[in-house]
Amino acid sequence: MRSRWGVVAALLVLLAACTAVPEPEDRASPAPNPVSSPATSGTPSPEPSSPETATSAETRTGPDGRPFVIEEIAEFDEPWAMTFLPDGRSLITGRAGELTLRGANGQNVEVSGVPEVVHEGQGGFGDVVLAPDFETSKTVYVSWAEAGDGGDSGAAVGRATLTENGGSAELADLDVIWRQEPKVSGNGHYGHRLAFSPDGRHLFVSSGERQKMEPAQDLDSDLGKIIRMSPDGSGAQVWTYGHRNPLGIAFDADGNLWNSEMGPQGGDEVNLVKEGANYGWPEASNGSHYSGEDIPDHAAGDGFEAPKAWWNPSISPGSLMIYDGAMFPQWQGDAFVGALSGEALIRVDLDGTDAAEGDQWDLGRRVREVEQAPDGAIWLLTDEGQVLRLVAP
């Protein structure tokens, strides 16, 4: 573990408004956008924070005048996703193929039984979520990029039992329940974020179009879709289509499904996901091709579902979390997006089925994952390897 907080603290400035040139999704230059004041609500007392010790911390004040603290907790190699266990421990994936069980005291246990992954380009080990009945079943769901024939690859989803024996842990009896079809060449736009419906009856998987564009409109292909299936993988079906690179997916308290996805040069989106809807890619986008070639903007009557919020220049959304914790009551019900090229944490104001850009905090780091801890703290994983924690003072 090592601290880089001197750099982070120098860059951690709450933006009121800013502009920047467009950047492709795989670059690390910031592309901030205008921000607005957050909504406020009741003020229940925050739950206690984790006993884990931060390596550094700095207090900031939001535009509503309420203070918060961002702490650097740890550092990993290429962290991609995380989820919290009911007892406060966490599982953290590493894109090269590692899974770490991290204790609240900061002690790490490497989990064996992880699948072999294609660790190239944007490929690697991906998401991790708990089964709705995890407390009794100990079932964990994971996603990754797997090899096919002749150098092709595609996303996969599996489920396993998290077993522990003394100081060791294992993903036992890993079973692949879904494979992205067809497998294709290249190593980009896998997607493979996971979310369970609130009733626990269905698993939703975001499936990128693998930088092939046209398959997003082909209903006989899994590419460029959001897929719904039963927890055992049966009954998999296309739920929505016309997606590009959907790297965030989450349900709100009312049962609405939302996703965030990268547009091309500009046109990054937050969408309300509605069964059977076509989200337009590559026929419509509020961005343009990297070549400069125009793409028709979303427009009323074009037959496509327009985004509820969008960004131009690009921010490159890498994840999506909808907050329902007690530590920050002013943010309850809002979405948080981790921005890669935008190098920021972004709050999106959710109001029923509408969304609007909210606050943007410049971190000077590519934010890959945003996750809510059991105590209501907000945790971030960065492509630079840091684990950051946002808490009330």
pLDDT digits (tens, 9 = 90+) for 167-202: 999 999 999 999 999 999 999 999 999 999 999 999
* Confidence band of 68 (pLDDT split at 50, 70, 90): confident
Is 192 catalytic? The answer is: no
Is 39 in a helix, a strand, or coil? coil
> Tokens standing for 101?
């069980």
Q: For 3, which DSSP code?
A: -
Q: Give 272's strand partners.
A: 258
* Confidence band of 39 (pLDDT split at 50, 70, 90): very low
Which DSSP string corresponds to 171-229?
EEEEEEEEE-SS-BSSS---EEEEEE-TTSS-EEEEE--TT--GGGG-TTS-TTEEEEE
> Tokens standing for 355?
């969304």
Q: Provide CB contacts within 8 A for 346, sequence distance 6+.
A: 33, 315, 317, 336, 337, 338, 339, 357, 358, 359, 360, 361
Which DSSP string corresponds to 232-252?
TSTT-EEEEE--SEEEEEEE-
* Confidence band of 72 (pLDDT split at 50, 70, 90): very high
| pLDDT greater than 70 at residue 17 | no
**250 in Cβ contact with 196 (< 8 Å):** no
**29 in Cβ contact with 381 (< 8 Å):** no
Q: Provide CB contacts within 8 A for 179, sequence distance 6+.
A: 146, 154, 155, 156, 157
Cα–Cα distance measured from residue 359 to residue 348, given in angstroms and rounded to the nearest whole number = 7
Which residue among 189, 192, 243, 298 is the active-site one? 189
The pLDDT assigned to 58 comes to 64
Amino acid at position 267, single letter? G
The pLDDT assigned to 40 comes to 28
Domain range for 11: 5-391
Q: Which pTM was predicted? A: 0.86
pLDDT digits (tens, 9 = 90+) for 325-374: 999 999 999 999 999 999 999 999 999 999 999 999 999 999 999 999 99
| pLDDT greater than 90 at residue 85 | yes
- Give the mean pLDDT of 249-254: 98
* Confidence band of 315 (pLDDT split at 50, 70, 90): very high
Measured at the CA of 376, the angle between CA 389 and CA 11, to 5 degrees, comes to: 30
Amino acid at position 140, single letter? V
The pLDDT assigned to 52 comes to 63
The pLDDT assigned to 374 comes to 96
| pLDDT greater than 80 at residue 270 | yes
Domain count of the fold of the chain: 1
Looking at 37-46, 158-167, 280-289, 313-322, which range is the least confident one?
Answer: 37-46
**164 in Cβ contact with 103 (< 8 Å):** no
- Taken in order 303, 309, 313, 315, the sign of the CA dihedral is negative
Looking at 21-25, 163-167, 385-389, which range is the least confident one?
Answer: 21-25
**Nearest in space to 291 (alpha carbons), one of 263, 313, 266, 265:** 265
Q: Over the chain, what is the mean pLDDT?
A: 87
Domain with 144 in it: what CATH number? 2.120.10.30
Residue 137, phi then psi, degrees to nearest 5: -90, -25
**Nearest in space to 49 (alpha carbons), one of 326, 333, 367:** 326
The pLDDT assigned to 166 comes to 87
- Give the mean pLDDT of 272-281: 98
| pLDDT greater than 70 at residue 10 | no
- Give the mean pLDDT of 217-243: 98
The pLDDT assigned to 393 comes to 83
* Confidence band of 20 (pLDDT split at 50, 70, 90): very low
- Give the mean pLDDT of 70-81: 95
- Give the mean pLDDT of 202-217: 98
**344 in Cβ contact with 362 (< 8 Å):** yes
Q: Provide CB contacts within 8 A for 203, sequence distance 6+.
A: 141, 157, 194, 195, 196, 197, 228, 229, 230, 231, 233
The pLDDT assigned to 104 comes to 86
pLDDT-above-70 percentage for the chain: 83
